[in-house]
């Protein structure tokens, strides 16, 4: 059976793509955007380390933090481990639901899915995440910036993270 459209929009008509997505949406059909790839060199193991500031409820602290994982040549990231130092209150933060996966994108952003931590501290403890987070990538300095990155808590206060970590080896991410 062949389905013939009752009308056609020229491909160059202003807003044609948006109208088509709206029509498909009304019909319950998904229209996914085309993914734009990145190229990352060198691919392989990575370590991202630095001091991050964490806030949950009224409590805040700065912790030396290290993430270890891998990145593919196409920008797919897997975070296998995270440590928040072993001293003081920072030792009360644990990564949950590892590995975390994500993707570098051409906007200069690293998207991580299902990031989650557990804070084991009186009055402000609990789970934060899993959440999708976006980190700003600086190709010149091989750094990731956490700017008010929010891990939504299922109950109680969410966790907010700020700071910068340096990725080693230095990565070159190109659209």
pTM for the predicted model, two decimal places: 0.78
When pLDDT is cut at 50, 70 and 90, the band that residue 35 belongs to is low
Question: Phi and psi (nearest 5°) for 28?
Answer: 80, 20
Distance CA 113, CA 78 (A): 10
Counting every residue written for the chain, the total comes to 175
Q: What is the pLDDT of residue 125?
A: 84
Reference 82, options 57, 46, 55; nearest CA is 46
pLDDT at 167: 98
Mean pLDDT for the stretch of residues 55-84 = 95
**Phi/psi of residue 172, nearest 5 degrees:** -115, 115
Residue 164 structure tokens:
């910068």
CB–CB of 123/57 below 8 Å? Answer: yes
- Domain residue limits, the chain: 39-174
């Amino acid at each position: 059976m062949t389905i013939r459209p009752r009308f056609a929009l020229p491909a160059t008509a202003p807003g044609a793509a948006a109208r088509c997505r709206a029509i498909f949406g009304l019909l319950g059909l998904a229209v996914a955007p085309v993914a734009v790839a990145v190229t990352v060199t060198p691919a392989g193991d990575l370590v991202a380390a630095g001091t991050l500031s964490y806030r949950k409820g009224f409590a805040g602290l700065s912790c030396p933090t290290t993430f270890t994982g891998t990145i593919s040549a196409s920008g797919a990231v897997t975070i296998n481990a995270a440590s928040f130092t072993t001293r003081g209150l920072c030792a009360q933060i644990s990564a949950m639901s590892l590995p975390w996966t994500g993707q570098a994108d051409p906007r200069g952003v690293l998207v991580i899915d299902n990031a989650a931590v557990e804070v084991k501290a009186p009055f402000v403890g609990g789970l934060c995440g899993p959440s999708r987070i976006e980190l700003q990538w600086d190709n010149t300095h091989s750094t990731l910036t956490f700017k008010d990155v929010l891990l939504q808590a299922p109950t109680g206060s969410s966790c907010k993270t700020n700071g910068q970590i340096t990725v080693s080896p230095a990565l070159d991410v190109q659209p």
